[in-house]
Amino acid sequence: MKVGIVVPYSWSFWGAVVEHAELQAQSLQELGVETRTIMGNDPPGQFTRALHPRVGREGPPPPDVIPVGRSAIVPANGSLPNIVLGPRSVPRLKRTLERERFDLLHVHEPMAPVLAIGALAMARSPVVATFHASGGSGWAKLGAPIWGFLLDRIDVRIAVSERAREAAERLAPGGYQVIPNGVLIPPKADPSQREHQILFVGRQEARKGLPVMLRAWPEIRRRTGARLRVIGADPLAVRLLIARQRISDDGIDVLGFLSQERLTEELLSAKAMAAPSLGRESFGMVLTRAFAAAMPVVASDIEGYRDVMSTEVGLTVPPGDPSALTEAIVELLADENRRCRLGLAARRIAEERYSWEEVGRRLLRVYEQVLGRVPTAA
């Protein structure tokens, strides 16, 4: 079986959907499925720096990624995704589909221009699509009356959570399967004997709550002596945010984008994660990433996180409340036995519910059903 995974974003800039697609391809390959991922790429250089304020990944995409165009920042759902919009990307996509002759296409965010809707328009094979977003976006609402009819070409619709399913159904009513985002599970993870550090992992977008984290930090630092490791956000943007908020950077390490391997190392060495997002989250991949590393989480009590968070794995706080975030983190760090107990429970939940091994098998069953290789009731 040969599967084409279509992502409307750029490989060069880290994001939840990009990470999901990369790990999806890896899990399918381990199950014997040949995959190629079609997406954007913005090579380092002056042109990319002019279009993108964020620092991208180093080096070229891996061999199983087929880049078909550059991206531009298009605000959507409170985020700033790097969507492929170049005029040359559509003919490149067409040539790729003709050359690769996929048995099946798996399209992520199928309402997004131009790669996702282009793949739906040009597909000559069955199509599976995954809807990730938790809220409506301007371009999706604008595009629904123009290219919404292309959604009829999807054979199976998948949503990563109930929240994402509800959002998708408002634009595109129909039947959806809920298959969660998978997560990398390190072979071993011990919550004890950790460095006295807290992690924040996320882009420098307002909805991720980094300003809330930074406002809370001086008091957390004073009362606990811990260090804050900021991962995923552009270092320059973080420094500017610290300066604007007029807070001390004492105890703050700004690491920028990290590879999967480096991120795993950080997750396995710190004591807890802070996820003070303000809303518009459909799932919370950053939470399950922490769970897999036996790391408890202090997270905002928002709709997109409630299917993932529980008292078994951490503490929740009202969104946008630095004082509540401070008290929860101080409380967690003050009780080592409780912190380790929460970490072990988080690890167990990640293994049972979110391992890519299980998610990959579920996707493969969907593909086999679509291609008529197993009975629908299997």
3-state secondary structure of 291: helix
Whether 191 is covered by a domain: the verdict is: no
Q: Are residues 272 and 255 in the same domain?
A: yes
Q: Are residues 342 and 361 in the same domain?
A: no
Range of the domain at 254: 197-353
Q: Quick one: pLDDT band at residue 173, thresholds 50, 70, 90?
A: confident
Q: Quick one: pLDDT band at residue 378, thresholds 50, 70, 90?
A: very low
- The mean pLDDT value for 83-111 works out to 94
Q: How far apart are CA 321 and CA 247, in angstroms?
A: 17
Q: Are residues 70 and 148 in the same domain?
A: yes
Whether 192 is covered by a domain: the verdict is: no
3-state secondary structure of 80: coil
End-to-end, the C-alpha distance of the chain in Å comes to 19
Task: Tell me the pLDDT tens digit for each residue of 296-311.
Answer: 999 999 988 988 999 9
Whether 20 is covered by a domain: the verdict is: yes
Q: Are residues 175 and 33 in the same domain?
A: yes
Q: Are residues 238 and 324 in the same domain?
A: yes
User: Taking the CB of residue 236, how many other CB atoms lie within 10 A of it?
Assistant: 14
pLDDT value, residue 296: 98
Q: Are residues 220 and 331 in the same domain?
A: yes
**Alpha carbon of 102 to those of 10, 33, 135, 209, 280: distances in Å?**
21, 11, 31, 40, 34
Q: Are residues 162 and 272 in the same domain?
A: no
Whether the pLDDT of residue 99 is over 50: the answer is yes
**Alpha carbon of 185 to those of 98, 254, 261, 289, 351: distances in Å?**
36, 25, 12, 8, 7
Q: What CATH code is carried by the domain that includes residue 154?
A: 3.40.50.2000
Residue 82 is inside which H or E element, if any?
strand 82-84
Burial of 67 (0-12, 13-18, 19+ CB in 10 A): buried
Q: Give me the percent of the chain exceeding a pLDDT of 90.
A: 70
Q: How far apart are CA 172 and CA 144, in angstroms?
A: 8
Q: Are residues 216 and 164 in the same domain?
A: no
Task: Tell me the pLDDT tens digit for each residue of 198-249.
Answer: 999 998 888 899 999 999 999 999 999 999 999 999 899 999 999 999 999 9
Token pair 């991949």 in the structure block, residue: 285
Task: Tell me the pLDDT tens digit for each residue of 321-331.
Answer: 999 999 999 99
Q: Are residues 321 and 335 in the same domain?
A: yes
Q: How far apart are CA 308 and CA 268, in angstroms?
A: 20
Q: Are residues 117 and 218 in the same domain?
A: no
Q: Do 366 and 376 meet the contact criterion of CB atoms below 8 Å apart?
A: no
pTM score, two decimals? 0.84
3-state secondary structure of 40: strand
Task: Tell me the pLDDT tens digit for each residue of 131-152.
Answer: 998 765 556 666 666 667 888 9
Residue 357: alpha-carbon gap to chain centroid: 17
Range in 140-144, 151-155, 162-166, 278-282 with the lowest mean pLDDT? 140-144
Burial of 10 (0-12, 13-18, 19+ CB in 10 A): buried
Whether 56 is covered by a domain: the verdict is: yes
Q: Are residues 360 and 338 in the same domain?
A: no
Whether 376 is covered by a domain: the verdict is: no
Q: How far apart are CA 104 and CA 125, in angstroms?
A: 5
Q: How far apart are CA 86 and CA 115, in angstroms?
A: 10
Whether 189 is covered by a domain: the verdict is: no
Q: Are residues 276 and 166 in the same domain?
A: no
Whether 321 is covered by a domain: the verdict is: yes
Looking at the structure of the chain, the number of domains it has is 2
pLDDT value, residue 279: 86
Whether 101 is covered by a domain: the verdict is: yes
